[in-house]
Amino acid sequence: MARFIFITGGVVSSLGKGLASAALGALLQARGYSVRLRKLDPYLNVDPGTMSPFEHGEVFVTDDGAETDLDLGHYERFTGVAARKTDSVSSGRIYSNVLEKERRGDYLGKTIQVIPHVTNEIKDFIAIGEDEVDFMLCEIGGTVGDIEGLPFFEAIRQFSQDKPRGQCLFMHLTLLPYIKASGELKTKPTQHSVKELRSIGLAPDILVCRSEGPIPTKEREKLALFCNVRPDSVIAAQDLSTIYDAPLAYHREGLDQAVLDAFQISPAPKPDLTKWEDVSDRIHNAEGEVKVAIVGKYTQLEDAYKSIAEALTHGGMANRVRVKVEWVDAEVFDTEEAAPHLEGFHAILVPGGFGERGTEGKIKAAQYAREHKVPYLGICLGMQMAVIEAARNAAGIKEAGSEEFDHESGKKRFEPVVYHLKEWVQGNHKVERKVGDDKGGTMRLGAYDAVLAEGSKVAEVYGGTAIEERHRHRYEVDIKYRDKLEKAGLNFSGMSPDGRLPEIVEWSDHPWFIGVQYHPELKSKPFDPHPLFRDFVRAAKDTSRLV
């Protein structure tokens, strides 16, 4: 049976609960244990799939097609354990499940209440797969005191009571603000947060305190005394120059040892941190720098492209260079030329997105990269914009565009080289979709196979011709334009196994220009960089030597 670690947050949000959970998972793995990480989000959306990236950052997609919180990306990057649909749930999903059961009559006419029906649904979710791993880490989104989080806190309280004594542990992450005027580190917000937690029946075993610097002994003892935890269970989480230092930093602070002590695991296996020492070395001892422009429309919020930024970092680590990312707003190119904004970059990346806003700028970025022989990686919409650019400027289809933009505006303006995907094959069955379907969960989601052309650039990059990658899109490049585009020099070098859906395009006369319909960034890890990002950064490195 798994031991359960519940990670809660207090004082303010965005302190790094997801990162702390992922780092702890990595440390437990380093000691030889198997782990799985889960996220329980109190918001009422069924999943983050329909949320604006400005609201919630990027949407992370699992192999089995779940649209989840970006923290699951951290979990995968740090532990290498592929997340599943059963690793992410929201209040919306919980309430939806309860109401479906009520409509079916599963509750035999009883009055449906938060306790026990909603809390039981949450407990059932937490327990899924508990016999598969040594440790199950469950992060509760938001902060203690949030009204929508109360059913989750009550559920984990009940869950810990249902389990044998010593099988559940509570870790609480808080903030220790530094008051510059008085030169003091303040413990009172943490004390209040723990008091709030205790008032709903939860007592933290471990306190993880975010701070700008180390926690002095006096403050550490004060926190231990007033929050009723052992002094060696007060863990400092100082600001770091890179998130990939987190496992080593938490180990130095004794987080993994505090967890094992709380579970009374003694003697505990010694950790093997060689992998993380190598990761840290590659980041801190880079042998050069490359500049990459990310041309997108959510550039004001870097979390909107979290996995892409991390995958570029991984590609840099593989090539022992530091990747300096600059965010370029695609809408700027609507009124200005692209060249002045893109000169001096060693590579250009155009990420995914939805809607027409900023797309003409992305098309100009693809054109600049093609004409100036700058390495280009187009992801999802970034590939579609590269195809539209090729159709307009190389294949003579002057009105080329996407059906998505016509649907958005309500009138036909373009020749749709990109169309709304109405059916595709998933496993052994056909999936069908209509334009008017609900937005949530109706895309081509999750892992699908692709076949790469022999001798193509991507086959060389991957080192083979069969791949599996994660998708998240409704619109697809139309195969009927393949001949025209290939005559112009844009090769369709990757296709779905049935040969109907284009997965990858590349320019034959360009040193490195690849567009992919899927999201390779979702599978990249610091100790196992994705092949496309590894080679993209290598190409940028080669360009930097020429500039």
* Nearest CA among 386, 241, 390 for reference residue 322: 241
What one-letter code names the amino acid at 188? K
Q: Is 13 annotated as a binding residue?
A: yes
Instruction: Report the distance separating Cα 535 and Cα 290, nearest Å.
Output: 13
353 is in an annotated binding site: yes
Q: Which of 341, 471, 519, 530 is catalytic?
A: 519
Both tokens assigned to 274: 């060689």
74: closest CA among 307, 325, 322? Answer: 307
Residue 148 labeled ligand binder:
yes
CB 361 within 8 A of CB 493: no
Half-sphere exposure of residue 503, counting CA atoms within 13 Å on the CB side? 29
The reply, when asked if residue 408 is annotated as ligand binding, is no
- For residue 211, say whether it is annotated as part of any ligand binding site: no
Angle at which helices 17-30 and 255-262 cross, to 10°? 70
534 annotated binding-site participant: no
According to the annotation, is 382 in a ligand binding site? yes
Q: Of these residues, 121, 380, 503, 530, which one is catalytic?
A: 380
Contact 347, 365 (CB under 8 A): no
Q: Is 14 annotated as a binding residue?
A: yes
Of the CA atoms within 13 Å of residue 337, those in its CB half-sphere come to: 4
- 15 assigned to a ligand binding site: yes
Q: How far apart are CA 319 and CA 287, in angstroms?
A: 9
Question: Which one of the listed residues 76, 403, 506, 521 is annotated catalytic?
Answer: 521
Task: Confirm whether residue 222 is marked as ligand binding.
Answer: yes
Residue 389 a catalytic site member = no
Instruction: Look up tokens 């009559």; give the residue.
Output: 105
Q: How far is CA 531 from CA 188, 316, 354, 446, in A?
A: 48, 12, 26, 19
Confirm or deny that 383 is annotated as ligand binding.
yes
**380 belongs to the catalytic site:** yes
Query: Any binding-site annotation on 349?
Result: no
Cβ burial of 113 (10 Å; 0-12, 13-18, 19+) is exposed
Distance separating alpha carbons of residues 488 and 112, to the nearest angstrom: 63
Calculated CA dihedral for residues 340, 341, 343, 345, nearest 10 degrees: 180
What does the radius of gyration of the chain's CA atoms come to, in whole angstroms? 25
User: Is 535 annotated as belonging to a binding site?
Assistant: no
18 labelled ligand-binding: yes
Q: Is 186 annotated as belonging to a binding site?
A: yes
Q: Do residues 335 and 364 make contact, with C-beta atoms less than 8 angstroms apart?
A: no
Q: Is 521 annotated in the active site?
A: yes
Q: Is 19 labelled a binding residue?
A: yes
Q: How far apart are CA 398 and CA 413, in angstroms?
A: 11
User: Is 191 annotated as contributing to ligand binding?
Assistant: yes
Determine the Cα–Cα distance for residues 240 and 259; give it in Å rounded to an integer: 22
Q: Facing residues of 235 across strands? A: 208
Is 483 assigned a ligand-binding role in the annotation?
A: no
Question: What whole-number distance in Å separates Cα of residue 485 and Cα of residue 515?
Answer: 14
- Confirm if 70 and 51 have CB atoms less than 8 A apart: no
User: Residue 392 to residues 72, 243, 276: CA-CA distances in angstroms?
Assistant: 39, 42, 47
> Hey, which bits of 310-459 come out as E strands?
322-329, 347-350, 376-379, 400-402, 415-420, 423-426, 429-432, 444-452
283 is in an annotated binding site: no
Residues making up the annotated binding site are 13-19, 71, 139, 146-148, 186-191, 222, 240, 353, 381-384, 404, 474
Q: Which residues are catalytic?
A: 380, 519, 521
Residues placed in the known binding site for UTP:
13, 186-191, 222
Q: Which residues are annotated as part of the binding site for ATP?
A: 14-19, 71, 240
Point out the annotated binding site for CTP. Answer: 13, 146-148, 186-191, 222
Q: Binding site residues for L-glutamine, as ranges?
A: 353, 381-384, 404, 474
